[in-house]
């Protein structure tokens, strides 16, 4: 531990599992006090207890403005300030339905979680950060918002919008010393996978194997992308090492999207469907 975040206070949304959990654990090791925000109460409270007094859990639905405002207020009341806002909560929606057959109720949910949520987080964090002279806002975006592909059209739209608005807000908030950056991860298989699908543990492991093998075939670096890899990027953007970095997209994808002319999404979707039977 080098204490890169010593004395800093951070909020991590979606912090009870996956990328969020890995980031909370790393931030605490580096000296930060962290508020874990999530709708997963059991997981959030368990993580808070495991990491001790420098971590607090606050049940938060990031799509609801009153709850996001309360979250920021909680962090300030509990730990005295807010230096880092990591808007990480998100979800991809359904991948195997043709676009022309989609129900736009899914659109509302995906956009609320992946675009409205981070916008609310930026708004309420920036209000406090502006008063204290600065801070770091980090948004989990996605390579799905950069590169075209088949499937998850609403998720792609939301993440592309988040990439664009993050750059715009980096400009608008810079006079207040607030930095805004994005991390677009490549596909990361996290521990939320089976839970979100509501399937058996055995089937989840089988599908995860199919996904992992398919994704490695699409990457330049033949190594799986882990939540801890994304957490390291978040640490950089939260720390003073990135004090001159704003409006940046720190892509962590193991080279996924560098130029393979073949889109393998349909093949991977078919393999996942077969594994689910």
Q: Which residues are identified as catalytic?
A: 155
Distance, in Å, from the CA atom of 172 to the CA atom of 57, rounded to the nearest integer, reads 31
Q: Which residue is listed with tokens 């996956």?
A: 18
């Amino acid at each position: 531990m080098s204490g890169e975040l010593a004395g800093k206070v951070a909020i991590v949304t979606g912090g009870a599992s996956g990328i969020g959990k890995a980031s909370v654990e790393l931030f605490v090791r580096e000296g930060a006090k962290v508020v874990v925000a999530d709708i997963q109460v059991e997981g959030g409270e368990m993580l808070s207890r495991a990491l001790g007094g420098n971590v607090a859990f606050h049940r938060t639905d990031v799509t609801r403005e009153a709850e996001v405002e309360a979250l920021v207020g909680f962090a300030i009341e509990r730990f005295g300030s807010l230096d880092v806002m990591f808007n990480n909560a998100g979800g991809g929606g359904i991948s195997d339905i043709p676009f022309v057959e989609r129900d736009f109720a899914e659109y509302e949910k995906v956009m609320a979680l992946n675009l409205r949520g981070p916008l609310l987080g930026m708004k309420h964090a920036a209000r406090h950060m502006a008063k204290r002279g600065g801070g770091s806002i980090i948004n989990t975006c996605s390579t799905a918002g950069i590169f075209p592909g088949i499937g998850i059209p609403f998720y792609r739209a939301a993440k592309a919008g988040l990439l664009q608005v993050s750059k715009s807000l980096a400009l608008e908030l810079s006079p207040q010393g607030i930095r805004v950056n994005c991390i677009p991860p490549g596909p990361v298989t996290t521990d939320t996978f089976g839970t979100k699908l509501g399937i058996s543990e055995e089937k989840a492991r089988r599908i995860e194997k199919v996904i992992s093998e398919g994704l490695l075939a699409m990457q330049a670096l033949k190594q799986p992308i882990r939540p801890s890899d994304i957490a390291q990027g978040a640490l950089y953007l939260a720390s003073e090492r990135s004090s001159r970095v704003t409006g940046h997209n720190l892509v962590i994808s193991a080279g996924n999207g560098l130029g393979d002319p073949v889109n393998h999404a349909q093949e991977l979707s078919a393999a996942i469907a077969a594994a689910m039977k």
